[in-house]
A and B are shown apart, each in its own frame.
Chain A
Amino acid sequence: MTFTPRIGVYVCHCGINIAATVDVRKVTQWAAQLPGVVVSRDYTYMCSDPGQALIQNDIRDLGLNRVVVASCSPRMHEPTFRAAVSAVELNPYCFEMANIREQCSWVHPAAETTTQKAMHLVGSAVAKAALLQPLEQRQAPTTPAALVIGGGIAGMQAALDIADAGFEVTLVERTASLGGHVGELDRTFPTLEATADLLSAIVERVVHHAQVRVLTEAEVSAVGGFVGNFEVDVRHGDETEKLKVGAIIVASGFDVFDARRRPELGYGDYPEVITTLEFEKMSQGEGWVNGREPKKVVFIQCVGSRDQVLGHPYCSRVCCMVTAKQARLVRERLPNAQVTVFYMDVRAFGKGFEEFYDGARGAGVLYRRGNPSEILRRGERVVVRAEDTLLGEPVETEADLVVLAVGMTPRADTEALAGLLKLARSSDGFFMEAHPKLRPVDTAMAGVFLAGCCQGPKDITETIAQARAAAATAMVPLMRGKVTVEAATSFVDEELCAGCGQCASLCAFGALSLHPTKGVMVSNAVLCQGCGACATACPSGAISVRHFTFDQVMAQIEVVADFRAPQLSVAPAEVASSS
């Protein structure tokens, strides 16, 4: 029985995001007469309830067997629409998206050519849709255990939550102790309580929790498997232990900016110039710099942040409050000391922060707006040169202690960790979340989550909230007990395969291996991520990726590369506007 495609095409306006630039009505009408298209509609928001209902009703009433939605990126809503068609018992792999937003309306001005490009994209999606095959999504059981990489406050909090929910957690920390950078802090803003108290309470719980296993001086050396079924190698000492876990949380933390990269500020040359982190140590009782109580203390904000020249254009988020805290502490301990803070903007945005900033000024800290340009030696002291931009004059401020608010940077070993876990990084170098709003703790790798500063600068409050968020998200597959495995994976045509192994050497996921007896390659459907590297490399054309077969992709290319009016081999279809 030959298969007759009955394709429904749905063109989304996305409010005015698409409709303002692309003539969606025209695209809808044009799509109606493509081969295989039974119905073509447009609507303001296809992803909404009424939009999805349009598709579902047509599947039921018109017997559609393939669906094309022309809207945003599949990274946004492919899961949404797949779920929508599944709900009315159409296989989710019989659905295809044409991205006419990120790849069309958002990158071109409103013009006839833009609408034509949208038509190309829709046409190619329809051509592929006609060739799509239903695929079965498998379910795999999850290992009821989690791995947390990093024993700082983020890692510890995430571990505690998952353990409290009843799962085994292994916490891997590369140094000898837990606590991370928070362990270096004297007091926290805005409450000014001793950090050690907060931290020790958490460390105690972690160390004594029946479900948490802490491995210090340990490192993750290999990661294999997939969500629900990871296989991880952890090296500690001379041993390498193999763990099976269902979810991985990355909480590897941050480094601080090396202030020597701004040599004009004299860090490393003048003993009077220290960083905020060194101030914390000093504050915990190591004595003042040079052994003397300072009389004039100057704090400098944004050292290594908001600095495009150094490649750190981002804001490090916590330094305004760290400085306010430290400045206030100086005034409280040395009431006769003059304390000045040089700033560009004071970012006191969190709960209690503005009031704390008011308190710092109330304690006699002088805030001067200006980003100091250089620090010079003057006798026993140093002098800070800046413009006070509110006075509109250059000023020189003497100091016997200068504290640089150094920014947060991604850790030096981020690259290695990214490689192990296939993690993407944002332009600022920190790990990239799957979507900044919809999925702030997920990564593109299912089952791998982010917590804390490894994803971007945060203070303790935000770190803990995000760590708990990561724990919640990780708990979902663990509590469900099973995960759905992506079906668009590679498969080998045994007749064509010569067993040369080129594919396996390219596979980043270890999904291909030589069959022990048949002399052909075998693809492991659960390890394969469907990236297609193997298919492009195979000299015999023996490997294909389901849902992206040679025929399907060629059909798309033919439409896009050689645009001509399609043959009217089927009757023109019902055209309807539902907006």
Chain B
Amino acid sequence: MSENPTHGTNGRGPAALVIGGGIAGIQAALDIADAGFHVYLVERSPSIGGRMSQLDKTFPTLDCSACILTPKMVDAGRHPNIDLYTYSEVVQVTGEAGNFHARIRMKPRYVDPEKCRGCGLCAEACRLAGRVSSDFNAGMGQRAAVYVPFPQAVPLIYTVDPEACVYLTRGVCGKTFKCKDACTAGAIDFDQKEVFVDVEATTIINATGFDVFDANLRPELGYGAYRQVITSLEFERLASASGPTAGKITLDGTLPKKVVFIQCVGSRDQSLNIPYCSRVCCMAIAKQAHLAHDRLPGAEITVFYMDIRAFGKGFEEFYDRVRHEGVLYRRGNPSEVLRRGERLVVRAEDTLLGEPVEVEADLVVLAVGIRPRADAAELAGMLGLAQDENGFFQEAHPKVATVESNRPGILLAGCCQGPKDIPDTVAHAKAAASAALIQMAQTQKAMVTAHAAN
């Protein structure tokens, strides 16, 4: 489907607008499109894929995340019924159920999508190659000012980062644009402007995802102070084949020998006003502990926890397996992390031993909780949606209506409504698709009836 339509309105029957191109948005879009309806899928970053594209392997099957995600990404990118708007944002929504008008702002990539072949010569040539912190790599890796977030991006079109590019921030790029010179397709275009597209939709699905807890808010755990304390998301990037170390779990080239994982950082914590459980971290850490065990032969791996929430299909069995492999689970919520020489020491009470313990570590991984996106309130304002007391979008009823919001015609899918793992997210997104399909089928029927009556 064309990446850059100049107008995106109808004549095609009822359409859905899906805001957010992570797995929730992609799944909802695919189901609606497969059923024969039109979908506008809007994603703010240069590629769809979302958080799932940042994961290495997924629990409990240890499927590689990219393997199960990229085919869906490709499907969404090529589906005749899906109009994909990446590097775009919805800036205004008016109207009501059955008749929404949305304005999409297509941010300028400064790269012509019709010409770019995704070859990467511009990024190699860029003056800032290797010097711009990569968001996709959670700050663990570097890239150039012109980039694709990861090699399997959909669409595979380069984007110039307006906050990093020397020309865009300072007005000059040496004597000549290195990127332009390197590009054999003539795709770099610094005159590109933002484009606004107006679309009409019967229903809107909010699939805008989540952020993670800022571990700086728990300073006694040493994040930010000690290089060897990282978050679970950063660990995920280290462990990924597409990450900054090509899957080698290392911070400086040497392999850690003592790894300590700490659960519930920024979850189940009333002192931070974050009383809820983030649901996925027990299993995510079990998976990461397994990966660490796999890739760091002979390493001592410890997980400090309060409760192990291995509740889903295959989860308890996976938790059994990881313990069998020799990962040591110690019950206790660590109080602080201190430096001891070259290493770190984690102080906790092992509540089952009933004694305080100090465990040495050369890598500490904090299981950071799932938080609403920093701009959730803005989005709530634009869509007229209510937020719950934790900042996630409020569902119409916590048991029987978790995809409906307080606003008729606007549905919720995935983690923007509350923490979920991938299977839960896919089910939730499909449920949202079901609700959308019902509305769209009813709208279509009404349209047909009206048309026949004329």
Seen from chain A, the residues whose Cβ lies within 8 Å of a Cβ on chain B are 13-17, 20, 44-45, 47-52, 72, 76-77, 80, 87, 161, 164-166, 188, 190-191, 198, 201-202, 306, 308, 313-315, 317, 345-355, 358, 389-392, 426-428, 430, 435-438, 440-441, 455-456, 460-462, 464-473, 475-476, 479-480
A48: contacting residue among B70, B78, B427, CB under 8 A: B70
Q: Which residues of A contact B408 (CB under 8 A)?
A: none
A479: contacting residue among B36, B63, B155, CB under 8 A: B36
B277: contacting residue among A13, A198, A354, A460, CB under 8 A: A354
B431→A469 contact, CB < 8 A: yes
A14→B430 contact, CB < 8 A: no
The B394-441 residues at the A interface (CB cut-off 8 A) are 398-400, 402-403, 417-419, 422-424, 426-431, 433-435, 437-438, 441
Q: Which residues of B contact A466 (CB under 8 A)?
A: 427, 431
A166→B118 contact, CB < 8 A: no
Complexed CA–CA distance, A557 and B354 (Å): 62
Given contacts A166-B441, A315-B310, whether A350 and B434 have CB atoms under 8 Å apart is no
A16→B31 contact, CB < 8 A: no
Q: Does B325 contact A (CB under 8 A)?
A: no
Q: Which residues of A contact B64 (CB under 8 A)?
A: 14-15, 17
Given contacts A16-B247, A465-B402, whether A437 and B309 have CB atoms under 8 Å apart is no
Shortest beta-carbon distance from B63 to chain A in Å: 6
Q: Which residues of B contact A20 (CB under 8 A)?
A: 247
Complexed CA–CA distance, A353 and B398 (Å): 11
Q: Does B279 contact A (CB under 8 A)?
A: yes
Complexed CA–CA distance, A440 and B58 (Å): 14
The bracket for how many chain B residues form the interface is 35 or more
B246: contacting residue among A16, A76, A348, CB under 8 A: A16
Shortest beta-carbon distance from B249 to chain A in Å: 12
Q: Which residues of A contact B214 (CB under 8 A)?
A: none
A80→B71 contact, CB < 8 A: yes
Question: Of A191, A391, A438, which is in contact with the most chain B CB atoms at under 10 Å from its CB?
Answer: A438
Complexed CA–CA distance, A96 and B294 (Å): 32
Shortest beta-carbon distance from A468 to chain B in Å: 3
Show 5 residue pairs from A and B whose CB-CB distance is below 8 angstroms, ordered by the A residue. A13-B241, A49-B156, A358-B275, A465-B431, A480-B34
Q: Which residues of A contact B310 (CB under 8 A)?
A: 315, 345, 347
Complexed CA–CA distance, A345 and B442 (Å): 46
A76→B67 contact, CB < 8 A: yes
Complexed CA–CA distance, A188 and B397 (Å): 13
Q: Does B218 contact A (CB under 8 A)?
A: no
Q: Does B253 contact A (CB under 8 A)?
A: no
Given contacts A347-B307, A437-B423, whether A353 and B277 have CB atoms under 8 Å apart is yes
B68→A468 contact, CB < 8 A: no
Shortest beta-carbon distance from B64 to chain A in Å: 5
B434→A472 contact, CB < 8 A: yes
A45→B70 contact, CB < 8 A: yes
The B304-356 residues at the A interface (CB cut-off 8 A) are 307-317, 320, 351-354
Q: Does B108 contact A (CB under 8 A)?
A: no
Complexed CA–CA distance, A198 and B397 (Å): 10
Shortest beta-carbon distance from A353 to chain B in Å: 6
Given contacts A48-B152, A161-B434, A389-B352, whether A15 and B247 have CB atoms under 8 Å apart is yes
Shortest beta-carbon distance from A14 to chain B in Å: 6
Shortest beta-carbon distance from B209 to chain A in Å: 16
Complexed CA–CA distance, A438 and B427 (Å): 10
Q: Which residues of A contact B437 (CB under 8 A)?
A: 165, 472, 475, 479
Complexed CA–CA distance, A198 and B399 (Å): 9
B58: contacting residue among A351, A437, A455, CB under 8 A: A437
Shortest beta-carbon distance from A301 to chain B in Å: 11
Q: Which residues of A contact B73 (CB under 8 A)?
A: 48-49
B74: contacting residue among A44, A80, A191, A392, CB under 8 A: A80
Q: Does B72 contact A (CB under 8 A)?
A: yes
Complexed CA–CA distance, A464 and B424 (Å): 12
Q: Which residue of A lies closest to B310 (CB)?
A: A315
The B356-412 residues at the A interface (CB cut-off 8 A) are 392, 398-400, 402-403
The 8 closest A-B pairs by CB, nearest first: A15-B241, A469-B430, A468-B431, A48-B152, A472-B434, A479-B35, A345-B307, A468-B434
A351→B418 contact, CB < 8 A: yes
Q: Which residues of A contact B428 (CB under 8 A)?
A: 465, 469
Q: Which residues of A contact B314 (CB under 8 A)?
A: 314, 426, 428, 436
B398: contacting residue among A190, A202, A345, A469, CB under 8 A: A190
Given contacts A345-B308, A355-B276, A389-B352, whether A441 and B427 have CB atoms under 8 Å apart is yes
Complexed CA–CA distance, A358 and B275 (Å): 9
Given contacts A202-B400, A345-B309, whether A437 and B426 have CB atoms under 8 Å apart is yes
Q: Does B207 contact A (CB under 8 A)?
A: no
Q: Which residues of A contact B98 (CB under 8 A)?
A: none
Q: Which residues of A contact B74 (CB under 8 A)?
A: 47-49, 52, 80
Shortest beta-carbon distance from A276 to chain B in Å: 16
Q: Which residue of A lies closest to B431 (CB)?
A: A468
Q: Which residues of B contact A345 (CB under 8 A)?
A: 307-310
Q: Which residues of A contact B398 (CB under 8 A)?
A: 190-191, 351-352, 461
A49→B77 contact, CB < 8 A: yes
Question: Of B60, B152, B399, B441, which is in contact with the most chain A CB atoms at under 10 Å from its CB?
Answer: B399
Q: Does B227 contact A (CB under 8 A)?
A: no
Q: Does B61 contact A (CB under 8 A)?
A: yes
B35→A15 contact, CB < 8 A: no
Complexed CA–CA distance, A202 and B74 (Å): 38
A480→B68 contact, CB < 8 A: no
Q: Which residues of B contact A467 (CB under 8 A)?
A: 431
Q: Does B268 contact A (CB under 8 A)?
A: yes
B151→A471 contact, CB < 8 A: no
Given contacts A80-B74, A190-B398, whether A314 and B316 have CB atoms under 8 Å apart is yes
B316→A306 contact, CB < 8 A: yes
A468→B435 contact, CB < 8 A: yes
Shortest beta-carbon distance from B54 to chain A in Å: 13
Q: Does B240 contact A (CB under 8 A)?
A: yes
Shortest beta-carbon distance from B201 to chain A in Å: 18
A468→B430 contact, CB < 8 A: yes
